[in-house]
């Protein structure tokens, strides 16, 4: 589904991604862990098309050149990013935003717009599952939302947009235990053989609920180690420094 | 005697968009011919084909206009007094806009209902660019035909709608007609109220308007009557050519309520560069006037060539206790906009409101805002101003809040937000606050922001293209004001914002 080869990204003269390789197949959940500054968020930005990076290398999504596409085209292809810092848009109703997003993606795919009743039914169901107050629909997008509310709102959007590839950038950070459980439940429910996920996180706790097929360690812009879910706990014990030390020099390889 | 030069004393300009030149045809050539002949008779026009008074401004011109309209002697005197005073004044230049000097002798002050070439037979003959704009604004086909002056049934339709409309208003006792008609049918009301809110000597452009005003709207809602429908310039009879010096007078008697809509979202073209309108509102005890404007006059091209100078004086007087006047405006057009719809809060417990969205792109300039003058006790006013600048546009909010000694226990809240798109535009804020008693409260909040890359990227990651995203963010920014618009306007206003900002991103 997603194939990344020798991806390099430079911003302000600093090379953040330094030859990253990764392949994700349909239905797989990959976790990326790594120390601050390793390039985790840059990876999510580059994959979704944020401006400002000089990029080389090759990224294909379902055999199409992803790097050529505008952000909205990538969204229409089914790539979704749950933002680490969801953005506030004052005056724009959350419900309106959500519906516009869903219809924009549908239109781009040549599908008819979703009717209001079906839409509302679906939103309410997902909100209930995430224990979100329906009143949040009429509030402005992320405006005045607590940290937990913002993250749940991201997962709600993901549930409504039904992406093929979901990139979750530190969706677990800043959540208390209850909120983490709800958010993790929302993510887990979306797992399916057609949907892939790339979960960026610092901590294994989210991975207890959403057990990944692969865990990668990202350090200095490259994947330096890949393992199964147990790697996350190993890292928790040893820290990244230990991993880096024991593996320095061996590079790369992603799954399959 | 001199022009009042202080910005705090001035109140200025904008011409209400009235009908476009659409339906002058309907009146028939008969009337036009009659006009032309009369012109000739007065000796002002030498060429039979010409329907425009030669350029120039003098007492004879004022007399000519008044005679054209069969006005009573007192009104002619009123115009002449205004004219004589105007001649002693100088054009004000305190405003934060720049334009080449206007030669007031180089303007024609009277134009008959003119025929603008043969009427198009169908919409296919209309400029494709104009049609594209209509479509983007979601204007219906019938409406498009009307606006473009297509000679078909659509015009008949709108006349019949207007007739039904008029009957219903007459039953309620509401007078809604052109200003000229009101001078004939309700001279006592016109005489009683004309110039009581904006005196002819108020400012340079108000004086000019008072001398040479062409036509406009007149509304009178009698005591205790709630006007049964929104009054729109769109349905006004005899609306054909109101010209560049429009005059509007709205009176709500005790306990009366009226909502008036001016303009439309369709692009308004006009050959006259200078527009100087005057609007006066009077609310007696417990009366309520809501005045909503959508202004979309030609703003000039991308290089700042051409476009309307929109210099308007709009003011309302809450003359009665517990009365309320509310201005809501969406301003996207004109090369230069210079207007400060204001409220004089004279009655105790009266309420004044000003909700404004102003958009400037390319080389447009706007110096706009409001004045709230509190005189009565426990009066309150609210100002919400949203300014959006893009391209190389410059926009200024200028607002005055004045609490007189007598206005004890009064309050004002002002919120003034500017949104910048791109890095070559500017936003400026000049609040003037004057409080002369110690029991009043005045609050002023201001913010300036840019559409952030983060916001745009967030929307695009959710599948919206850059233009949709910008339009959504801007509409969100304006929401407090759009919520105040009557339903008819609110939806159109959003579409208008989008069209206005087209191409200003990226």
Each residue of B104-113: pLDDT tens digit? 888 888 765 5
Confidence of residue B423 (pLDDT cuts 50, 70, 90): confident
Judged by CB atoms closer than 8 Å, whether chains meet at B477 and A75 is answered as no
Confidence of residue B264 (pLDDT cuts 50, 70, 90): low
Decide if pLDDT at A96 tops 90.
yes
A contact residues 172-231, partner B, Cβ 8 Å cutoff: none
Query: Does residue A105 belong to any structural domain of this protein?
Result: no
Confidence of residue A33 (pLDDT cuts 50, 70, 90): very high
**In angstroms, what separates the C-alpha of B330 from chain A's closest C-alpha?**
17
CATH code assigned at A232: 3.40.50.300
**In angstroms, what separates the C-alpha of B386 from chain A's closest C-alpha?**
12
Three-class DSSP labels, B78-133: HHHHHHHHHCCCCCCCCCCCCCCCCCHHHCCCCECCCCCCCCCCCHHHCCHHHHHH
Sign of CA dihedral B228, B229, B231, B236: negative
pLDDT > 90 fraction of chain B, expressed in percent and rounded: 45
Query: Does residue A135 belong to any structural domain of this protein?
Result: no
Decide if pLDDT at B147 tops 70.
no
**In angstroms, what separates the C-alpha of B480 from chain A's closest C-alpha?**
8
For helices A94-108 and B466-477, give the axis angle rounded to 10 degrees: 170
Query: Does residue A39 belong to any structural domain of this protein?
Result: yes
A241-245, B24-28, B253-257, B449-453 — most confident range? B253-257
Q: Strands, DSSP E only, in B187-341? A: 217-221, 231-232, 247-252, 257-263, 274-275, 278-283, 288-295, 309-318, 324-331, 336-339
Decide if pLDDT at B152 tops 80.
no
pLDDT > 70 fraction of chain A, expressed in percent and rounded: 95
- B482, B332 Cβ separation under 8 angstroms: no
Nearest chain B alpha carbon to A103: B463
Nearest chain B alpha carbon to A87: B455
What is the rounded average pLDDT of the residues B147-155? 42
> Per-residue pLDDT tens for A162-185?
999 999 999 998 899 999 999 999
Decide if pLDDT at B117 tops 90.
no
Judged by CB atoms closer than 8 Å, whether chains meet at A70 and B462 is answered as no
> Per-residue pLDDT tens for A191-202?
999 999 999 998
Decide if pLDDT at A37 tops 90.
no
Predicted local distance difference test score (pLDDT) of residue B213: 92
**In angstroms, what separates the C-alpha of B361 from chain A's closest C-alpha?**
22
Interface test with A, best of B357, B449, B463, B506 (most A CBs within 10 A): B463
- A247, A16 Cβ separation under 8 angstroms: no
Which chain B residues touch A if contact means CB-CB below 8 Å?
452-455, 457-466, 468, 472-473, 475-480
Q: Is A88 left (phi over 0), alpha (psi -120 to 50) or beta?
A: beta
Closest CA to B473 of B485, B455, B460, B491: B455
- Of A27-41, B136-150, B368-382, the one with minimum mean pLDDT is B136-150
**CA separation for the pair B290, B306 (Å, rounded):** 32
Nearest chain A alpha carbon to B466: A72
Judged by CB atoms closer than 8 Å, whether chains meet at B472 and A92 is answered as yes
Supply the ipTM of this predicted assembly.
0.94
**In angstroms, what separates the C-alpha of A256 from chain B's closest C-alpha?**
28
Mean pLDDT for chain A overall: 91
> Per-residue pLDDT tens for B427-458?
999 999 999 999 999 999 988 888 888 999 99
How many domains does chain A contain in total? 1
A231-235, B70-74, B309-313 — most confident range? B70-74
A92 contacts on B by Cβ (under 8 Å) = 472-473, 475-476, 479
Confidence of residue B504 (pLDDT cuts 50, 70, 90): low
Residue with the bigger pLDDT between A251 and A118: it is A118
**CA separation for the pair B505, B425 (Å, rounded):** 12
Mean pLDDT for chain B overall: 80
**In angstroms, what separates the C-alpha of A242 from chain B's closest C-alpha?**
36
Decide if pLDDT at A251 tops 60.
no
B26-40, B59-73, B184-198, B444-458 — most confident range? B184-198
A83 contacts on B by Cβ (under 8 Å) = 458, 461
Predicted local distance difference test score (pLDDT) of residue B108: 80
Query: Does residue A197 belong to any structural domain of this protein?
Result: yes
Query: Does residue A101 belong to any structural domain of this protein?
Result: no
Judged by CB atoms closer than 8 Å, whether chains meet at A104 and B464 is answered as yes
> Per-residue pLDDT tens for A58-81?
999 999 999 999 999 999 999 999
Distances (CA, A) of B336 to A237, B262, B297, B329, B362: 68, 19, 10, 16, 12
Judged by CB atoms closer than 8 Å, whether chains meet at A105 and B463 is answered as yes
Is A144 near chain B, with CB under 8 Å? no
pLDDT > 70 fraction of chain B, expressed in percent and rounded: 74
A90 contacts on B by Cβ (under 8 Å) = 476-477
Decide if pLDDT at B296 tops 90.
no
> Per-residue pLDDT tens for B216-246?
889 999 999 999 888 877 544 333 444 578 8
Query: Does residue A124 belong to any structural domain of this protein?
Result: no
B473 contacts on A by Cβ (under 8 Å) = 89, 92
Is A70 near chain B, with CB under 8 Å? yes
Query: Does residue A108 belong to any structural domain of this protein?
Result: no
Query: Does residue A116 belong to any structural domain of this protein?
Result: no
Predicted local distance difference test score (pLDDT) of residue B266: 58
Partner-chain residue, chosen from B454, B466, B477, that has the shortest CB–CB distance to A90: B477
Is A157 near chain B, with CB under 8 Å? yes
What's the domain range around A170? 2-89+163-247
**CA separation for the pair B418, B428 (Å, rounded):** 8
């Amino acid at each position: 589904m997603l194939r990344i080869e020798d991806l390099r990204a430079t911003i302000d003269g600093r090379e953040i991604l330094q030859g990253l390789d990764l392949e994700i197949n349909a239905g797989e959940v990959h976790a990326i862990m790594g120390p601050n500054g390793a390039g985790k968020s840059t990876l999510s930005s580059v994959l979704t098309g944020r401006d400002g990076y000089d990029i080389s290398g090759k990224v294909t999504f379902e055999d199409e050149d992803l790097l050529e596409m505008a952000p909205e085209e990538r969204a229409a292809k089914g790539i979704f990013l749950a933002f680490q810092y969801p953005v506030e848009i004052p005056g724009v109703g959350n419900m309106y935003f959500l519906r516009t997003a869903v219809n924009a993606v549908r239109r781009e795919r040549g599908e008819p717009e979703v009717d209001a009743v079906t839409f509302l039914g679906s939103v309410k169901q997902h909100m209930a599952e995430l224990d979100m107050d329906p009143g949040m629909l009429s509030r402005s997008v992320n405006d005045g939302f607590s940290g937990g509310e913002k993250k749940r709102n991201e997962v709600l959007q993901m549930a409504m947009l039904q992406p093929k590839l979901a990139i979750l950038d530190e969706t677990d950070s800043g959540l208390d235990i209850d909120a983490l459980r709800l958010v993790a439940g929302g993510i887990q429910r979306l797992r399916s053989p057609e949907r892939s996920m790339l979960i960026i996180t610092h901590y294994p706790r989210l991975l207890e609920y959403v057990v990944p097929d692969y865990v990668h360690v990202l350090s200095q812009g490259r994947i330096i180690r890949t393992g199964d879910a147990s790697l996350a706990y190993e890292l928790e014990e040893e820290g990244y420094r230990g991993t880096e030390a024991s593996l320095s020099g061996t590079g790369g390889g992603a799954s399959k | 005697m001199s022009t009042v030069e202080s910005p705090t004393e001035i109140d200025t300009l904008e011409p209400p968009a009235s009908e476009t030149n659409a339906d002058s045809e309907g009146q028939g050539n008969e009337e036009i011919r009659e006009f032309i002949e009369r012109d000739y008779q007065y000796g002002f026009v030498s060429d039979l084909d010409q329907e425009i008074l030669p350029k120039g401004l003098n007492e004879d011109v004022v007399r000519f206009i008044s005679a054209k309209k069969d006005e009573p002697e007192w009104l002619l005197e009123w115009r002449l007094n205004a004219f004589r005073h105007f001649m002693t004044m100088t054009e004000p230049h305190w405003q934060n806009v720049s334009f080449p000097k206007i030669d007031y002798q180089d303007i024609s002050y009277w134009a008959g209902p003119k025929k603008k070439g043969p009427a198009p037979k169908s919409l296919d003959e209309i400029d494709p660019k104009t049609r594209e704009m209509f479509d983007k604004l979601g204007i219906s086909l019938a409406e498009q035909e009307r606006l473009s002056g297509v000679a078909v049934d659509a015009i008949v339709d709108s006349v019949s709608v207007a007739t039904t409309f008029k009957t219903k208003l007459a039953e309620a006792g509401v007078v809604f007609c052109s200003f000229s008609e009101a001078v004939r049918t309700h001279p006592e009301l016109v005489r009683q109220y004309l110039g009581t809110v904006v005196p002819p000597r108020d400012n340079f452009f108000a004086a000019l308007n008072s001398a040479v005003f062409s036509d406009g709207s007149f509304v009178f809602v009698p005591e205790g009557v709630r006007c049964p429908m929104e009054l729109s310039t769109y349905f006004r009879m005899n609306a054909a050519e109101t010209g560049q010096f429009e005059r509007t007078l709205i009176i709500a008697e005790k306990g009366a309520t009226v909502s008036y809509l001016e303009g439309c979202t369709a692009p308004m073209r006009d050959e006259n560069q200078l527009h100087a309108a005057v609007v006066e509102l009077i609310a007696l005890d417990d009366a309520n006037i809501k005045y909503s404007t959508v202004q979309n006059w030609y703003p000039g091209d991308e290089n700042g060539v051409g476009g309307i100078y929109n210099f308007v004086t709009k003011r309302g007087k809450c003359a009665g206790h517990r009365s309320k006047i509310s201005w809501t405006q969406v301003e996207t057009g004109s090369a230069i906009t210079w207007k400060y719809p204001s409220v004089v809060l004279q009655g105790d417990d009266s309420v004044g409101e000003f909700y404004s969205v102003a958009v400037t792109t390319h080389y447009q300039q706007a110096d706009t805002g409001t004045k709230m003058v509190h005189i009565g006790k426990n009066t309150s006013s609210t100002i919400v101003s949203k300014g959006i600048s893009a391209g190389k546009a410059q926009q200024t909010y200028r607002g005055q809040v004045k609490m007189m000694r007598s206005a004890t226990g009064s309050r004002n809240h002002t919120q003034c937000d500017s949104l910048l798109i791109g890095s070559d535009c500017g936003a400026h804020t000049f609040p003037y606050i004057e409080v002369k008693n110690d029991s009043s409260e005045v609050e002023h909040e201001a913010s300036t922001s840019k559409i952030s890359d983060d916001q745009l990227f967030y929307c695009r990651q959710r599948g919206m293209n850059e233009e949709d995203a910008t339009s959504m963010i801007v509409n969100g920014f304006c929401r407090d004001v759009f919520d105040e618009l009557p339903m008819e306007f609110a939806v159109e206003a959003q579409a208008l914002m989008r069209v206005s900002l087209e191409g200003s991103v990226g």
